[in-house]
């Protein structure tokens, strides 16, 4: 039971080519702070990549907190998500240093807007 909620290496985008393929597919859902780039994959489950630039989150503590929140939501919802390669990108700076509740709400909203059939 607990093993199915782990964030294993096969659930991550790791190589530059994997990130490049998602960005080249050019499908994006835009939120207030985050952009969600997505591309259908041929696997049985979704994979996650994160881009949190220093330009938009200056402090390492904030960048790590953002990544932690995204990974936790992905990990807990992975079984309900369609088979996509997903990249969450912090596109605009956050106004306050620790907006975890706002980040969580926006990330959940973006995941909810993903097309379910995997063909778009």
In a domain, 117, yes or no: no
Report the CATH number that the domain containing residue 32 is assigned in CATH: 3.30.230.10
pLDDT at 34: 96
Is residue 31 a contact partner of residue 106, using CB atoms and an 8 Å limit?
A: yes
- pLDDT tens-digit profile of 29-60? 999 999 999 999 999 999 999 999 999 998 99
In a domain, 118, yes or no: no
Residue scoring higher pLDDT (118 or 88)? 88
Mean pLDDT of 10-16: 94
In a domain, 120, yes or no: no
Task: Count up the domains in the chain and report the number.
Answer: 1
How many Cα atoms sit within 13 Å of 62 on the Cβ side? 17
Backbone φ and ψ for 56, nearest 5 degrees, come out as: -100, -15
Backbone φ and ψ for 52, nearest 5 degrees, come out as: -130, 90
- pLDDT tens-digit profile of 54-104? 999 989 999 999 999 999 999 999 989 999 999 999 999 877 667 889 999
Q: Is the pLDDT of residue 119 over 80?
A: no
- Domain boundaries, position 95: 2-112
How far is the C-alpha of 31 from the C-alpha of 43, rounded, in Å? 26
| Mean pLDDT across the chain | 90
Q: Taking the model in full, what pTM does it have?
A: 0.89
């Amino acid at each position: 039971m607990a093993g199915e909620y782990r964030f294993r290496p096969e659930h991550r985008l790791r190589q530059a080519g994997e990130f490049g393929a998602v960005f080249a597919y050019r499908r994006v859902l835009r939120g207030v702070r985050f952009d969600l780039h997505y591309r259908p994959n041929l696997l049985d489950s979704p994979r996650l990549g994160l881009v949190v630039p220093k330009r938009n989150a200056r402090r390492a503590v904030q960048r790590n907190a953002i990544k932690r929140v995204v990974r936790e939501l992905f990990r807990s919802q992975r079984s309900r998500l369609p088979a996509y390669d997903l990249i969450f990108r912090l596109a605009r700076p956050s106004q306050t240093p620790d907006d975890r509740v706002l980040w969580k709400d926006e990330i959940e909203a973006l995941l909810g807007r993903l097309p379910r059939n995997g063909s778009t």
